[in-house]
Chain A
């Protein structure tokens, strides 16, 4: 089993819809979780972090964490074409050793 798993996509959603991106992880002891957005040819950019079970909202982005089920998700409301990118889930395995998923490619159709 991979340590961090994401559906590679592409996930296509129409403009204005909610995009739902999922990530599962294998280490039950993981305490922090990060979502990065990576545009083609650019570096990963941190967009959300979550440490506690439940939801965390930041603008159009909501991160959801369920430690019992070992998944973390990212919802993007009112999706825009500019949200089209690859979204990476990152879970620190040890204090600094981040394990990244392969990323989910999101395409928002105008």
Chain B
């Protein structure tokens, strides 16, 4: 149990579908992150939120739309995805964004497959 819960664990969707990934952290952290992990590639940072405010959008296509209603919850809304978007999507949280000294704690991820 990492303190960061992601649902669903697996998702298969067509390119025209709309779905959402959910992340909830029970660690009392203020910063939350979305990462994409593809085979044989490093983890790619997608979005960063601090105290519900987006502080980073790492040139992510608009077919990915994040939402952070409060410091404990983070969503990733998906629509008209492409096959190359198939990957493991990881949510992480950290106490805050200060100093780069804060370790990030990850959820178990959502394995997304686009048909």
Contacts and interface: CB of A to CB of B under 8 A. Distances in A.
Query: Are A and B genuine complex partners?
Result: yes
Nearest to A102: B42
Interface residues of B, number: 29
A19 to B, nearest CB: 21
Nearest to A33: B100
Query: Is the contact region of chain A dominated by helix, strand, or loop, or is it mixed?
Result: loop
Interface residues on A, range: 20 to 34
Interface of A: 4, 8, 31-32, 34, 36, 41-46, 49, 51, 88, 90, 92, 94-103
A96 B103 contact: no
B100 A95 contact: yes
A4 B106 contact: no
A99 B79 CA distance: 27
Contacts of A99: 42
A49 B105 CA distance: 13
Nearest to B4: A43
12 contacts: A43-B2, A43-B107, A44-B90, A45-B106, A46-B104, A88-B43, A92-B100, A95-B99, A96-B94, A98-B43, A100-B43, A101-B42
Contact of B108 (A36, A42, A96, A100): A42
A75 B54 CA distance: 37
Given A97-B45, A102-B40, A49 B103 contact: yes
User: What 8 A-B pairs come out closest when comparing CB atoms?
Assistant: A92-B100, A43-B106, A100-B43, A96-B97, A100-B42, A43-B108, A95-B100, A46-B103
